Structure 1
Amino acid sequence: MSRQMLAIALAPLLGLFILGIGNGFLSTLITVRLDSAGESATMIGIVSSAYFVGLALGAMFNDRLLLRIGHIRAYGSFASLVAVTVLMQGLVNDPWAWFALRLIGGWATVGVYLVIESWLLTSGEPKSRGRLLALYMISLYAAGVLGQLLLGVVNDMGETAPFIVIGMLASLSVLPMAMIPRVSPLVEHAEPLPPHRLIMLTPTGVVGSLGSGMVVAAAYSLLPLYLQRIGMSVAQVGQMMAVVILGAMLLQYPIGRWSDRHDRQVVLIAISAFCVLISAAMLWLPLSMGLLAALLFLLGGGVFALYPVAVSHAADRAPSGALVRMSQGLLLINAIGSTISPLVISPVMTAAGNDGLFWAFGGLSLLFVMFFAWRRSVRPAPVPVAPFTATTPMSAAGAELVVTEALLQGALEHEYSEDLSDAVLNVAVAEPMVGPPAEDESRVTYYDDDNHVSSTR
């Protein structure tokens, strides 16, 4: 990457890293605090779902604000709102007030991601998007790991200290963006494909995106509750959550490369079956600290890889003109899964105890295995049209980062080959050959710009 490109991307990535440190342990902190206050798992799930509702709403509507006021002013507005909502959580201890604050906080947080993703999207040439996305992911995951490790330290400073630290980090993240003497072009507004169109286009991609949202949201919001209830301190909970995110960061690429070399539907079946096995091990094996850390590392790698493989599978089927809109639609479906996850899984924990989390994980993963296996028997997956790209987009603009030049070219070639096959089949059906052609006969088929047969001579 050129020095000019790095200079353009440095400010948004630095702002993301600073804000991500605090945001990385905020979900864990809220779960731990609500559990310490004696709230039920169901109530904790309701509060957690508010954040994901805000993410979904922001992913649909925040781009309109960005179009009106620009990147830097939008970033300052969203980051300031994140800081205010977090600081107010330190002042108010009512769970329903936290529900409202988390809803607003989710809406503002995805606005921050929208600014950063659209800045990266429009700051360079298409051939550099893959590298920009890699830097984006490294910043996001590294901030998450560091934030989880700092949870125990800041929690020991006092009851309100963690909220103050997160608010400070959100405010400080504005500085790199505000001190840049350049404004990137505005992101264009684009609507995702409606759900029924997506389901018809790629049922496997829709279920994979929805399921990924459910299990990842449960990992962020309810796994800390499980860890605290089995006797871990706040610092230990943060360390174990850091292990989960580290597993996601390190295992996503090997799984993705595997999906490039094999049927992605088989990879989705294997990931889901793997999550069933990890859930069973969490339920039935005697867990030491080392074994627990190893299982959580593997669980993080499995559940976080489900979404990018599902999106890659969907992209293999999508026509070239629908790639971005399809990615945006799958992102919103993923957000819907994240929203309903705490509401569905937390009652299971209330009814079945702490182990209810992994009963739910295992049950959902088993359903995914059955669905993906059924879909493969009905319609085998196509050959991958482009290399896997690991991704954790947080907004509709981030979906465009996934649509790399290689993926677009692969989709165009795939679409061309399908049209060509259909055209040849139509010619063969229209003019069946009764016998072998004479030696002096020659037939030349001409195609128009849309790859349709124009004439045959």
Structure 2
Amino acid sequence: MSRQLLLMALAPLLGLFILGIGNGFLATLITLRLDAAGESPVVIGWVSSAYFIGLALGAMLNDRLLLAIGHIRAYGSFASLVAVTVLLQGLVDAPAAWFVLRLIGGWATVGVFLVIESWLLTAGDAGVRGRLLALYMIALYAAGALGQLLLGAINALGPAAPFMVIGLLASLSVLPMAMIPRITPLVEKAEPLSPLRLITLTPTGVAGSFGSGLAVAAVYTLLPLYLQRVGFGVQGVGQLMAVMVLGAMLLQYPVGRWSDRHDRQLVLIALGGLCALIAAGVLLLPLPPWGLAALLFLLGGGVFSLYPAALSHAADRAPAGALVRMSQGLLLINALGSTLSPPLITPVMTRVGDAGLFWSLGALGVILMAFFAWRRRVRPAPVPVAPFSPATPLSAAGAELAITEEWVQGALEHEHVEDLADVVPDVAVAEPLVGPPPPDAAHIAYYDEAAGEAPAQRPAPEAAT
């Protein structure tokens, strides 16, 4: 990767890191504050789900603003709105008001991600795009882990201090983006496939994306509530959440390499089983704090690796013309799972106690493991052709730009071109070029001397690698 490209990517990555420090502990802070105010788990769940509703709405709508005003001004608008909503939460503590503010904050936050993702994905060609996305993931998770570690110290400064710090960080994140050259990447909008069509094309991808949304939202919003109620203070909760995020950052890439070299369906089955085993361990074993930290480290790695593995599996099965629309549709499925997670799990916690979180995660892991095993028996896996990308779920426009040449080539090798019309009716297949090949074309002319036929074209044998 060239030095010029690194410098070009530095500003958006730095902006993401600054904003991500505050955004990393905001969900934990809101959960702890609502619990301290005596609100029920159901109310906490609905306030938490408002953020994910905003994410889903923003994934569908924010690209219009980006196309209208450009990346830099769009980033400034979204980041400023994040700062305003957080500062207002420090002034007003009514759950209904927090629901509205979290919804607006989610809409603005996914707009920030949209700007940064599309900027990075258009900064370089396909040869470096994967590394840029890896840097994106590292910046996002490192900021989240740092934010969780700072939660206890910042909360000790006063009840309004955490909201003020998050607002300040959101405002400061505009500076790197505002100081870079005003070169606006092009982003083209593409509509996603309908959920019903996605279920027909890739049931495993849909189940993995939806299950990932359920699990990730649960650990982000309800795990702090569980930890506080089992006896950890604010600082301890922040430290354990940081360990969980660290596991997500460090284990995702090894899981990705495993899925690239083996059957992805087996990887998905293993991830579902890992979630179930960790839940059983937390529920049944007398764990010291370091033992709980170890299980949460593994939980973060498993839960956050589920979505990329499911997306890569879906790309293995997708016709080339449907890759963009399929990836965007799976993003919306993931956001739907995140939205429904707190309202579905908090009633379980109300009925069976705080351990209901891990009963729910264990049941989810068993269901996913059984479903993936059934799908593998019904439809065995082909040879993997879509490399696993260790990245967080992207926005709609970001996903469009993240389609790699390997995905397209792999799909073309496993599907006939005629099949594209079934999925993407408006795909136009170009006519083959007619005429002699260029001097450096990978073809050779040959004569069938015995039959006396005219010269024909055939592909040259591939060079040994």
| TM surpasses 0.5 | yes
Contact 2:79 2:174 in 1 (8 A): yes
Partner of residue 229, structure 1: 229
Shift of 1:268: 0.7
Aligned mates of 1:44, 1:187 — CA distance in 2: 37
Shift of 1:447: 11
List aligned pairs for 1:33-112, cutoff 5 A: 33-112=33-112
Partner of residue 447, structure 2: none
Contact 1:80 1:170 in 2 (8 A): yes
Aligned mates of 2:260, 2:73 — CA distance in 1: 40
Partner of residue 183, structure 1: 183
Query: Which residue type is aligned with residue 313 of structure 1?
Result: H
Q: Are 1:148 and 2:148 counterparts?
A: yes
Aligned mates of 1:35, 1:392 — CA distance in 2: 29
Contact 1:122 1:184 in 2 (8 A): no
List aligned pairs for 1:118-157, cutoff 5 A: 118-157=118-157
Contact 1:70 1:186 in 2 (8 A): no
Name whichever of 156-165 and 185-194 sits farther off: 185-194
- Cα 1:191/1:286, change in 2 over 3 Å: same
Partner of residue 247, structure 2: 247
Shift of 1:4: 1.4
Query: How many pairs were matched up?
Result: 426
Aligned mates of 2:186, 2:143 — CA distance in 1: 26
Partner of residue 7, structure 1: 7
Aligned mates of 2:232, 2:381 — CA distance in 1: 44
Cα deviation 1:388-417 (Å, max 9, x = unaligned) = 211213411221354222222222223359
Cα deviation 1:251-297 (Å, max 9, x = unaligned) = 11111111112111111111101111110000010010010000100
Partner of residue 425, structure 1: none
Q: Are 1:341 and 2:369 counterparts?
A: no
SS at match of 2:292: helix
Contact 1:311 1:330 in 2 (8 A): yes
Partner of residue 194, structure 1: 194
Partner of residue 352, structure 1: 352
Q: Are 1:284 and 2:301 counterparts?
A: no
Contact 1:66 1:186 in 2 (8 A): no
Shift of 1:182: 2.0
Query: Which residue type is aligned with residue 400 of structure 2?
Result: E
List aligned pairs for 1:430-449, cutoff 5 A: none
Cα deviation 1:63-104 (Å, max 9, x = unaligned) = 001111111111111000000000000000101100000000
SS at match of 2:237: helix
Partner of residue 436, structure 1: none
Name whichever of 380-389 and 152-161 sits farther off: 380-389
Aligned mates of 1:447, 1:365 — CA distance in 2: 54
SS at match of 1:103: helix
Shift of 1:418: 10
Aligned mates of 1:47, 1:134 — CA distance in 2: 31
Q: Are 1:213 and 2:228 counterparts?
A: no
Partner of residue 384, structure 1: 384
Aligned mates of 2:243, 2:457 — CA distance in 1: 56
Query: Which residue type is aligned with residue 301 of structure 1?
Result: G
Cα deviation 1:187-242 (Å, max 9, x = unaligned) = 11111111111111100000000000000000000000000000101011010000
Partner of residue 396, structure 1: 396
Cα deviation 1:19-51 (Å, max 9, x = unaligned) = 000000000000011111111111100000000
SS at match of 2:415: helix
Partner of residue 173, structure 2: 173
Aligned mates of 1:36, 1:179 — CA distance in 2: 41
Cα deviation 1:307-333 (Å, max 9, x = unaligned) = 111001000000111111111110110
SS at match of 2:38: coil
Contact 2:308 2:393 in 1 (8 A): no
List aligned pairs for 1:292-307, cutoff 5 A: 292-307=292-307
Aligned mates of 2:318, 2:213 — CA distance in 1: 21
Aligned mates of 1:130, 1:229 — CA distance in 2: 41
Query: Which residue type is aligned with residue 46 of structure 1?
Result: W
Query: Which residue type is aligned with residue 2 of structure 1?
Result: S
Aligned mates of 1:303, 1:140 — CA distance in 2: 16
Query: Which residue type is aligned with residue 142 of structure 2?
Result: A
Query: Which residue type is aligned with residue 312 of structure 1?
Result: S
Contact 2:122 2:401 in 1 (8 A): no
Query: Which residue type is aligned with residue 411 of structure 1?
Result: A
Aligned mates of 1:65, 1:349 — CA distance in 2: 40
Query: Which residue type is aligned with residue 231 of structure 1?
Result: G
Q: Are 1:159 and 2:163 counterparts?
A: no
List aligned pairs for 1:317-328, cutoff 5 A: 317-328=317-328
Query: Which residue type is aligned with residue 370 of structure 2?
Result: M
Aligned mates of 2:408, 2:150 — CA distance in 1: 41
Cα deviation 1:427-451 (Å, max 9, x = unaligned) = xxxxxxxxxxxxx99xxxx999xxx
Partner of residue 372, structure 1: 372
Contact 2:72 2:182 in 1 (8 A): no
Partner of residue 28, structure 1: 28
- Cα 1:364/1:263, change in 2 over 3 Å: same
Contact 1:18 1:169 in 2 (8 A): yes
Aligned mates of 1:324, 1:316 — CA distance in 2: 13
Unaligned regions of 5+ residues in structure 1, if any?
420-439, 449-457
SS at match of 2:138: helix
Contact 1:133 1:391 in 2 (8 A): yes
Shift of 1:111: 0.5
SS at match of 1:386: coil
Aligned mates of 1:72, 1:257 — CA distance in 2: 35
Q: Are 1:16 and 2:16 counterparts?
A: yes
Query: Which residue type is aligned with residue 187 of structure 1?
Result: V
| TM-score, normalisation: structure 2 | 0.89
SS at match of 2:337: helix
Query: Which residue type is aligned with residue 249 of structure 2?
Result: M
Aligned mates of 2:181, 2:216 — CA distance in 1: 38
CA RMSD in angstroms comes to 1.9
Shift of 1:387: 2.3
Aligned mates of 2:75, 2:82 — CA distance in 1: 10
- Cα 1:181/1:256, change in 2 over 3 Å: closer
Shift of 1:122: 1.8
Moved over 6 A (4+): none
Aligned mates of 1:160, 1:72 — CA distance in 2: 30
Contact 1:110 1:394 in 2 (8 A): no
Query: Which residue type is aligned with residue 151 of structure 1?
Result: L
Contact 2:190 2:400 in 1 (8 A): no
